[in-house]
């Protein structure tokens, strides 16, 4: 499954993991991506969509 939303193009953000001793290593934050059936142009297709887009109603869910 992809790590980006096909509706809003939200992807992985990068930053630092900071330990108690203030050492820094690279890490990433991935959005919550769900594979859902979506109706696009009257046809059902499967897309990778973040939960923010699902909750806000940016996609029309199909069966």
| pLDDT tens digits, one per residue of 12-58 | 999 999 999 999 999 999 999 999 999 999 899 999 999 999 999 99
Rounded Cα gap, residues 59 and 28, in angstroms: 26
Residue 60's pLDDT band, with cuts at 50, 70 and 90, is very high
Report pLDDT for 1.
Answer: 62
Residues 54, 56, 60, 63: what is their CA dihedral angle, to the nearest 10 degrees?
A: 40
Report pLDDT for 31.
Answer: 96
Q: Distances from the Cα of 24 to the Cαs of 3, 13, 15, 28, in angstroms? A: 24, 16, 9, 13
Q: Report which of 58, 2, 4 is spatially closest to residue 31, judged by C-alpha positions.
A: 4
Ordered structural domains, the chain, with CATH: 1-63 (2.30.170.40)
């Amino acid at each position: 499954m992809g790590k980006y939303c096909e509706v809003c193009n939200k992807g992985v953000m990068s930053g630092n993991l900071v330990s108690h001793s203030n050492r820094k290593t690279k890490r990433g934050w991935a959005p919550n991506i769900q594979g859902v059936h979506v109706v696009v142009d009257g046809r059902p297709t499967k897309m990778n969509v973040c939960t923010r887009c699902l909750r806000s109603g940016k996609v029309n869910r199909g069966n």
